[in-house]
Chains A and B, each alone.
Chain A
Amino acid sequence: MSVQPSEALVTAPLSAPGTFSRAFRRLRGDPLGMLGLILVLLMVFCAIAGPSIAPFDPFKIRVTERFTPPSLPHVFGTDNIGRDVFSRVLVGSRIALTVGGLSIAISLVIGLVLGLCAGYGPRWLDNFLLLVFDSVYSFPTVILGLTVMTLLGPSMTNLILVVVVVQTPAYARLIRTATLSIKGSEYILAIRSLGASPARVLFVHILPNIIGPLFIIASMDIPAVITLEAGLTYLGMGIPPPAPSWGRILLDGFDNIRDAPWIVVAGGIPLIVTTLGFTFFGESLRDLMDPRLRRNL
């Protein structure tokens, strides 16, 4: 069989057997994707094991050792109150990934339910939900973040709340469109002609068809959220001190950029690495899963 219209219709059926092992085998032939995977795994490892492998206590103040340049015990040097910057970066990865992963996961789940309802439900519900999505989507993210944090006070929960509010409509819209395109396909009609209930059609038949590409998009959104978290913290409206958020490290660094330029570099490197890692990995995952973008099998 050379032509398969059904495969052209759905881009990446994730649950097909062997998809993961096949994808991994193809990923090995893609150096950028492999690099992305390694960077992502490194970040996850740091987030999980960070506090236990950090060489120093990230909160311990040693005023006598302030502004130590990068050297052997302090790989990234120390900051203005003598805290070890490398340890702070390591421990900060947990905050970054928690905010990124948790808020994307929550908005994905809410977006999924709303998007499926909008795409499959009656016309009035679709119109109403679209209106809500578009209204929320039209807020500028950073301004919304600053406003909410000012009103509710800076905390991780409020930060996640902001990201969920901003991201959910984006996912819901994507899922709505995907649902609409699958809803009209013949196999959904065929399944309905065999007596499947709407819930069954949605969660057993439509969901597996659209979830694959969505995971990839979501994984590529994680660095954007991490950057937003760092940005808000940098503006003083994110994670409150003394938590070692990367944005906080950047802020401390800019205050002392003349005395200790390494702090800014140390705060910036993990942001760049995470962004590159997730972007490379997501891009190559998308290329590998999408039969239309797949160059060689």
Chain B
Amino acid sequence: MAMPAEERSAKSDSVLEVRGLSIEFRTPTGSVHALRHIDFDIPRGSVVGLVGESGSGKSTLALAIMGLMPGNAVLRDGSIRFGDIDLRSLRPAALRALRGDRISMVFQDPMTSLNPVRSIGDQMTDIQYRNGTSMPDKRRKAADMLRKVGIPDPERQLDRYPHEFSGGMRQRIVIAMGILEQPELLIADEPTTALDVTMEAQIVQLLRQLRGEVNTSILFISHNLGLIAELCDFVVVLYAGEVVEQGSVRDIFHRPKHPYTQALLECDPVRIEEVRRELPTIPGDVPNLLKAPAGCVFAPRCPKMFDPCAIQHPADYETSPGHVARCHLLGALPS
């Protein structure tokens, strides 16, 4: 049974509601339909994982929420609601007032996401420009936050420059900057991809701990299924600009319904039991989004493809409360 998005949304208090969001990139060869009819919620206080392979639109979605899309991107359709604010209708100045205060973002590479010529303290006191507190207060608040993310001797570190810190430390600083104003929503765009495995575990541990302390909802973007399983409450699976499946972590990892999710889980190196020379992959390529396919986006690569897949776009089927997959197979099953 398909269920309209509006009914699902009314159920719980959400920090973020994305409805029917479509984004195109204008290029010399035509419009690239990067995101098509995205629906998902971030319930207050939860961590939502966004998984997908490279080019599936994960970062585009994050930047669209922040209102920081590149110049050639067009928000074609849909709405993004943050609490009771419609982000799409907000003027730039009003949107800027939200950023860093109620929504903030942590980027992928900590080596490039700090300004190299300004000290950590300067950058952290800058963010507090709205507070109207005195400079010593701002520095104290910055130092407290650095201590919270596990940076030793924070008062001294405020006068140091980004190049004096290691990658892991920098990512901690970036996270500290992100949660400095205790935002309601933190978007973490692959925050551990540029770090080694030990640092990755520490950063995930840190995010989990902060989530309890600061009560921030997190949109955690990653292609690392292990991290998603460890950290998140809900998972949204993105494929070629469409949400193909979403549900609770338990549903996605134990009862995946969409063939793409199933294939993705089978490819996770951690799950491989038998040692082979080659890692498992999903054969085929991501479709060219200059012209979105009429049928299911995953059909060309799908092992379970059957007649309607190539012609008709599948509807969303809710297999259990909150667990939705977009696949014809679910409609074909006797309900």
Contact = CB atoms under 8 A, between A and B. Distances in A.
Judge: A and B partners, yes or no.
yes
Interface of A: 1, 4-7, 9-10, 13-17, 123, 185-187, 189-197, 200, 204-205, 208-209
A203 B112 CA distance: 19
Query: Mostly helix, strand, loop or mixed at chain A's interface?
Result: helix
Nearest to A210: B117
A200 B126 CA distance: 9
Contacts of B98: 195
Given A200-B126, A209-B117, A185 B112 contact: yes
Nearest to A195: B100
A190 B105 CA distance: 7
B206 interface: no
B118 interface: yes
B115 A193 contact: no
Interface string B97-131: 11111001101110111111110000100110110
Contact of A123 (B71, B117, B174): B71
Given A10-B117, A15-B117, A5 B96 contact: no
B68 interface: yes
Nearest to B109: A186
A4 B163 CA distance: 7
A186 B112 contact: yes
Given A194-B99, A200-B126, A6 B111 contact: yes
A192 B178 CA distance: 12
Contact of B99 (A16, A17, A193, A208): A193
A49 B310 CA distance: 86
B68 A195 contact: no
A204 B117 CA distance: 10
Contact of A209 (B97, B107, B116): B116
Contacts of A9: 112, 116
Contact of B112 (A187, A196, A200): A187
B240 interface: no
Nearest to B177: A194
Given A1-B166, A193-B105, A194-B177, A6 B114 contact: yes
The winner among A1, A6, A189, A205 for most chain B CB atoms within 10 A is: A6
B116 A7 contact: yes
Given A5-B111, A195-B98, 18 more contacts: A1-B163, A6-B111, A13-B116, A16-B161, A185-B112, A189-B107, A190-B105, A191-B115, A193-B100, A194-B177, A195-B96, A195-B104, A195-B127, A200-B129, A204-B118, A208-B117, A208-B118, A209-B117
Contacts of A197: 96
B267 interface: no
Contacts of A187: 112-116
A6 B112 contact: yes
A7 B105 CA distance: 23
Contact of B126 (A16, A17, A189, A204): A204
The 4 residue pairs across chains A and B that have the minimum distance between CB atoms: A195-B100, A194-B100, A13-B117, A195-B99
Interface string B174-207: 1001100000000000000000000000000000
Nearest to A209: B117
B73 interface: no
Contacts of B97: 195
7 contacts: A6-B163, A7-B163, A9-B116, A16-B116, A187-B112, A194-B104, A194-B105
B115 A209 contact: yes
B302 interface: no
B22 to A, nearest CB: 22
Interface string B50-67: 000000000000010010
A192 B115 CA distance: 12
B68 A192 contact: yes
B162 interface: yes
A13 B114 CA distance: 14
Interface in B209-240: none
Contact of B115 (A1, A4, A195, A205): A205
Contact of B174 (A4, A6, A190): A190
Contacts of A200: 126, 129
Contact of B66 (A4, A193, A209): A193
Contacts of A189: 63, 68, 107, 113
A124 to B, nearest CB: 12
